Amino acid sequence: MAVSSRLPAPPARGLLRRSPPRILPSRRLACGTRAVSGSPGPGGSPLPRRPPASSAASAIDFLTLCHSLKTTKRKGWINHSIKGPESIADHMYRMALMALIADDLPAVNRERCIKIAIVHDIAEAIVGDITPSDGIPKAEKSRREQEALNEMCEVLGGGSTAEEIKGLWEEYENNSSVEANLVKDFDKVEMILQALEYEKEHGKVLDEFFLSTAGKFQTEIGKSWAAEVNSRRTNGCGQN
């Protein structure tokens, strides 16, 4: 059978089809789909390891993931029917301010305290605000948060910054330094100060927040600031 040596004519220009643009993992993340290596793909098999993203792309992916910290309301206040309660980010921000303004911090790294305050609840961007009322054991809560933190650090692209965030979070979780001790106290002081403000604003009695922290402060600053908040409450500064 004879074969023609003539090449087929090219298709008309208007009939050419372009392949759809390839979406990189970082772009998938920006559109709301987290593609993390090791997590199951559509068929149940692990996704291939994500290639290193550019620093700009990984930073924006990470910050987008952290957006929910600004919008997720703290569950303790929701459970007490507080209207328009603070977000997780609101809570962490004022804790960071506490570390910034605290006087007399001998043998304490103030900058490290600020960093710990900023990241101590960061895993709640994925797992949400888990409270004792949820009935989840402390070990399970910690496991979920550690898993979420690992995922967030992978989104960030790994490296020294991700490792620093992990280290700060674990330091707080394990209460393993004087800085963690102090930030743990700031966490409780911020909560009772917020409770005092909500008592004044909403005319509520929020005893459980004060009772749950009584006698649990580890540092002199924590004890002093908590005493000041409780004194103002006792003297009626927090009531309408």
Note the pLDDT of residue 52.
54
Which of helix, strand or coil describes residue 175?
Answer: coil
- Tell me what pLDDT residue 236 has: 82
Looking at residue 212, its pLDDT comes to 96
What local confidence, expressed as pLDDT, does residue 207 receive?
97
- Structure tokens that stand for 104 in this block: 């007399």
pLDDT, residue 15, reads 37
Amino acid residing at 136? I
Instruction: Quote the pLDDT of residue 128.
Output: 96
The pLDDT score that the predictor gives to residue 73 is 97
Task: Give the chain's end-to-end CA distance (angstroms, integer).
Answer: 101
Q: How far apart are CA 137 and CA 107, in angstroms?
A: 34
CA dihedral 223, 228, 229, 233 (to 10 degrees): 130
Q: What is the pLDDT of residue 42?
A: 42
pLDDT at residue 49 in the model: 53
Output the CA torsion sign for 180, 183, 187, 192.
positive
HSE-up of 31 (CA within 13 Å, CB side)? 7
The stretches in the chain having pLDDT less than 50 are 1-8, 10-45, 47-48, 240
Angstrom distance (rounded) from CA 193 to CA 190:
5
